[in-house]
Amino acid sequence: MPFIPHTEADIAAMLDSIGAPSLDALFDEIPADLNCAGLKGVPAGLSEMAVTRLMHARAAQDGFYSSFIGAGAYEHHIPAAVWQIVTRGEFYSAYTPYQAEASQGTLQLLYEYQTMMASLTGLDVSNASLYDGASALAEAVLMAVRANKAGVRRVLLPDTVHPRYRAVVQATVKHQGIELVSVAFDQATGLTDLAVLEALAGTPAAALVIPQPNFFGALEPVDVLTDWAHAHGMLAIAVANPLSLALLKAPGQWGSLSPSPSPGGGGELRAPLRGGVPAGVDICVGDGQPLGVPLSSGGPYFGFMTARQALVRQMPGRIVGRTVDLDGKPGFALTLQAREQHIRRSKATSNICTNQGLLVTAATIHMSLMGPEGLKNVALAAHANTRALLDKLLSLAGVERVFNVPFFHEAVIRVNTPVPDVLRALRAQGILGGHDLGRDYPELAGCILICATETKTEDDLEQYRQQLERILSRRNGREPGVPPCAYK
Amino acid sequence: MLIFEHAHPGRRAHAQAPYDAPAADDLPAELLRQNPPLLPETSELDVVRHYTRLSQKNFSIDTQFYPLGSCTMKYNPRACNSLAMLPQFLARHPLADVETGQGFLVSMYELQEMLKEVTGMAAVSMAPMAGAHGEFAGVAMIRAYHDARGDTARREIICPDAAHGTNPATASMCGYTVREIPTDRQGNVDLEALRAAVGPQTAGLMLTNPSTLGVFEQSIVEIQKIVHAAGGLSYYDGANLNAILGRVRPGDMGFDVIHMNLHKTFSTPHGGGGPGAGPVGVSERLKPFLPIPYVLEDRGFHRWAEEGDCPQSIGRLSTFGGNMGVLLRAWVYARMLGGQGMHRVAEFAALNANYLAAELKKAGFDLAFPERRASHEFIVTLKKLKDATGISAMDFAKRLLDYGFHAPTTYFPMLVPECLLIEPTETESRETLDAFVTAMVKVRDEAQLEPELVKGAPHTLPVRRLDDVKAARELDLTWKPV
């Protein structure tokens, strides 16, 4: 019996103690006509060896590809130490740290995580995670609406936010009568269209969502957008790639009213109020996947959320605080639990209970191994690789740049051949060439979102260029005219 | 000591990140970060040692018996982890074409089909990422169903008072108001109160069965019929599915929707708080509203159902479709168990729970529902001990930690005073259960003879009892450099 230790003698003795004649008798309170008598549709059990063989065969069938897809999930090197420690039984098989004295390992790690995320985003407080980036944005929208004293139930959600994030926000908040207003992007720059935004100036809203980088990899004018939100009485919600924040300005510093930062880093750098208008965003969310979490077909990842101190009681999810024990010794415990469902029930800030703790464990160890310099260098290396790839591909006939603006490690190209055909032909060569933007943006049919992280070598980039050249020339009725080595 | 306190300026884990990276001279200065984030500067060994030592401050299933009621802390088989972490599975990008992931997708499809069989429902979506997320999907489907029929006056969800907090919180997130109904003295839903509560305003009922009191709702079919007769739909909270696996199926009982906690019943790890997976199963009439994606099969080819396949879907709940790696672990577990193994899970979960209840009763502990069979868990009430000695369930639980046992769930459900909700699970041996009984007796003796010892517990853990009030009043949520 897999994972059941009982011997026949145990069973007999235990039934005897209970005073039950058989195992079946333990179910005698269940109406007999409900008994389904087993699960005939579930296949027979397999040994570990047999299931291992089967799983290895399936993994081999799927194989490996040279992937240039980003679009919200990014391939990065993960130090071996990360998952070896994460899968230690003491982290892997522990429960939610409600019994604080028996969970100091998890609790201290979460406190360290909160510190790292608050600093990375330049805000005051962090929770202990949400499901993923999209659901974190949905929670941020709900939080902004709760915090709106005038009761405005409207949020501005630009089209440059990841399409899946927008879909999840819509599915999550629609039952609470919250209106999401889209903001079109400038077709020339791929950035939130400030003229469109200005036209919404008279429409009361609880928040403006600001993606950085946006879904196209383009860098939004975050200072302008943050100030605009605040000037119109809205909260500013940043959606950020956490890796990019090792390189890019922290959301807590966005806005022209930011003071010049002082050395030392950390959440204490949050900009003060200036003339009643605060600088910096109010809430920052995103997906923590780039911080040590494997791609794994889409999950489990984790959503992060940081905010200004004033909003901490509106936050969803678990929060860890440092306190002292009976002897005055420092220790850690879950805190502000009166926000949560197990205490506040129907009045809770969210229904979330289980979060993504183990992924946060990975991210905390990952960030510790990388350090500030390492994380920045990963961001720089990934960005340099995408630039190099972009240069190579733009050298080909039939490829052009779309949105000629600064970007971070992801950019858009247009090809003169139908994108599904191009991507299929690349796939046949073992290359996943990027994300077809026409799937979510009809006006961007013909466009591919490409990303080359630090994991790609010069040879990988060159392979992509050569194969794309071959495919485009064949499709366009020409023979490849340029030998592979003649790049620039 | 915090990881930050191990740091020294200029120290690095040299093997882990590019050492010299080209400058991003194409980026405008006003968009760049000026100060480095507060991340530790440490060596690889510092980090490995620090987090290994932190891990050793945790209780876990791998190191301790964890009889935490309502949480199903059973052994997490190691093979589930190692097979879900095969490099090809880890490397696969979520937006890669389905042609590149047929080995992965067939496993997802098989799990989806097995969960259909386990619950007896017409269809399953594995999109929700945790139990509460599954609840959200379920109640959102109930709402979508009523809305699609123009039946928009139904604005109320009924929950028993013993329900998990996620039930009423979920109903609120779906824009519903919550009506609580009481539990009778046998631990069943009060049928008269239910009859009085239902009406044209009833959107549905959320019911956990076996209930959080650890007993099977004997009138389950009738409850469901009362709700249906009033035009509401019935939601089965499958948090406690471990107790009925292969025995009874919510679909056979006539329920419209159920969520499962794979991190309980299908033994995926709790991970110190997550990740979980909360698939939902539905009856025929809720099928069009299932959250996307779910797996479709066509002559051996598998792909995700998307917006175009199901226009009435409640939509997407996550960026990329769910906690795939958790689902892979559940698939491995399900395949190792097989149908017969699943049936045995419920048998032995019930055997262990009833045995432990019987032994504790013999040792003089008060069961909250002594005349009922335990399902997979049961409740001990320490009311008398509290009255006699002042030792609370909390004190008692903390002292158990000193004996190397994780505490049972305390103060939930709130209906039973000074309660310990105890769930041993099927993977524990008789000797472990006996040792737990011995520890329970010992702590009770201590409560009578040396109450201060129990009140001051734990004594042997990395910290003693923590000041929760200070934690909430003097918020210290991030470390700040001195």
Cβ contact, residue pair A342, B427, below 8 Å: no
Q: Does A371 touch chain B if contact means CB atoms closer than 8 Å?
A: yes
Assign domain B345-468 to its CATH superfamily.
Aspartate Aminotransferase, domain 1 (3.90.1150.10)
Token pair of A429 as six digits:
């060569």
Using one digit for the tens of pLDDT, what is the confidence trace for B357-398? Answer: 999 999 999 999 999 999 999 999 999 999 999 999 999 999
The 10 Å Cβ neighbour count of residue A478 is 11
Apex B169 CA angle, B163 and B171, nearest 5 = 90
Q: Find the largest Cα–Cα distance for chain B.
A: 76
B205 Ramachandran zone, left/alpha/beta (phi>0; psi -120 to 50): beta
Q: CA-based Rg of chain B, rounded to a whole angstrom?
A: 25
Cβ contact, residue pair A30, B274, below 8 Å: no
Are the CB atoms for B88 and B254 separated by under 8 Å? no
**The predicted structure's pLDDT at residue B455:** 97
Cβ contact, residue pair B38, A112, below 8 Å: no
- CA-nearest residue to B252 within chain A is A34
Interior/surface letters B150-168, b for 16+ CB within 10 angstroms, e for the rest: eeeebebbbbbbbbbbbbb
- CA-nearest residue to B243 within chain A is A27
Are the CB atoms for A73 and A301 separated by under 8 Å? yes
Best interface-test mutation with A: which of B11, B33, B68, B301 has the largest number of A CBs within 10 A? B33
pTM, 2 dp: 0.96
- CA-nearest residue to B250 within chain A is A34
Tell me how far CA of residue B389 lies from CA of A480, B180, B392, B448, in angstroms: 89, 34, 9, 6
Class of the domain covering A66-72+371-486: alpha beta
Does the pLDDT value for residue A271 go beyond 70?
Answer: no
Q: Tell me the C-alpha distance between A469 and A483, whole Å.
A: 10
The 10 Å Cβ neighbour count of residue A48 is 16
Per DSSP bridges, beta strands A303-307 and B378-381 are unpaired
Cβ contact, residue pair B28, A406, below 8 Å: yes
Using one digit for the tens of pLDDT, what is the confidence trace for A220-240? Answer: 999 999 999 999 999 999 999
Helix A48-62 and helix B324-362, axial crossing angle in degrees, nearest 10: 160
Phi–psi pair at B300, nearest 5 degrees: 85, -5
**The predicted structure's pLDDT at residue B6:** 94
Does the pLDDT value for residue A50 go beyond 80?
Answer: yes
Chain B residues whose CB is inside 8 A of the A265 CB are 35-38
Question: Which residue carries 């917006």 as its tokens?
Answer: B307
In angstroms, what separates the C-alpha of A481 from chain B's closest C-alpha?
A: 30
Does the pLDDT value for residue A483 go beyond 90?
Answer: no
Q: Tell me the C-alpha distance between A75 and A455, whole Å.
A: 7
In angstroms, what separates the C-alpha of A418 from chain B's closest C-alpha?
A: 16
Chain A residues whose CB is inside 8 A of the B337 CB are 2-3, 45
**DSSP characters over B144-159:** HHHHHTT-TT--EEEE
Count of H helices and E strands in chain B?
A: 14, 13
Q: Out of A81, A124, A223, whose CB is closest to B47? A: A81
H/E element, B341: helix B324-362
User: Domain map of chain B by residue range?
Assistant: 3-55, 80-336, 345-468
**The predicted structure's pLDDT at residue B142:** 98
Best interface-test mutation with B: which of A68, A121, A247, A345 has the largest number of B CBs within 10 A? A345
Instruction: With a cut of 50, list the residues of chain B below it in pLDDT.
Output: none
**The predicted structure's pLDDT at residue A278:** 56
Question: Which residue carries 């522990």 as its tokens?
Answer: A94
Find the mean pLDDT for residues A7-32: 97
User: Domain map of chain A by residue range?
Assistant: 66-72+371-486, 82-364
Residue B177: which residues within 8 A CB-CB, separation 6 or more?
Answer: A346, B155, B156, B157, B171
Burial class (CB in 10 A: 0-12, 13-18, 19+), A477: exposed
Q: Tell me the C-alpha distance between B305 and B291, whole Å.
A: 10
- Its CATH architecture, for the domain B80-336, is 3-Layer(aba) Sandwich (3.40)
Cβ contact, residue pair A323, B106, below 8 Å: no
In angstroms, what separates the C-alpha of B448 from chain A's closest C-alpha?
A: 22
Token pair of A266 as six digits:
């950390």
Interior/surface letters A72-102, b for 16+ CB within 10 angstroms, e for the rest: bbbbbbbbebbbebbbbbbbbbbbbbbbbbb
- pLDDT tier, A256 (very low <50, low <70, confident <90, very high otherwise): confident
Find the mean pLDDT for residues A415-440: 97
Token pair of A220 as six digits:
């939004």
Does the pLDDT value for residue A389 go beyond 90?
Answer: yes
Does the pLDDT value for residue A468 go beyond 50?
Answer: yes
Are the CB atoms for B379 and B422 separated by under 8 Å? yes
Q: Out of B20, B118, B322, whose CB is closest to A39? A: B118
Does the pLDDT value for residue A370 go beyond 60?
Answer: yes
The 10 Å Cβ neighbour count of residue B460 is 11
Chain A residues whose CB is inside 8 A of the B11 CB are 371
Q: Tell me the C-alpha distance between B454 and B317, whole Å.
A: 45
Are the CB atoms for A139 and A363 separated by under 8 Å? no
Q: Out of A38, A172, A269, whose CB is closest to B339? A: A38
Fold of the domain spanning A82-364: Aspartate Aminotransferase; domain 2 (3.40.640)
- CA-nearest residue to B320 within chain A is A298
- CA-nearest residue to A379 within chain B is B21
Cβ contact, residue pair A55, B83, below 8 Å: yes
Are the CB atoms for B212 and B368 separated by under 8 Å? no
Cβ contact, residue pair B321, A97, below 8 Å: no
Using one digit for the tens of pLDDT, what is the confidence trace for B408-431? Answer: 999 988 899 999 999 999 999 999
Chain A residues whose CB is inside 8 A of the B261 CB are 354
Best interface-test mutation with A: which of B478, B479, B482 has the largest number of A CBs within 10 A? B478
Chain A residues whose CB is inside 8 A of the B237 CB are none
Best interface-test mutation with A: which of B1, B6, B16, B433 has the largest number of A CBs within 10 A? B16
Cβ contact, residue pair A358, B269, below 8 Å: yes
Token pair of A239 as six digits:
């959606």
**The predicted structure's pLDDT at residue B54:** 98
Phi–psi pair at A438, nearest 5 degrees: -60, -20
In angstroms, what separates the C-alpha of A260 from chain B's closest C-alpha?
A: 9
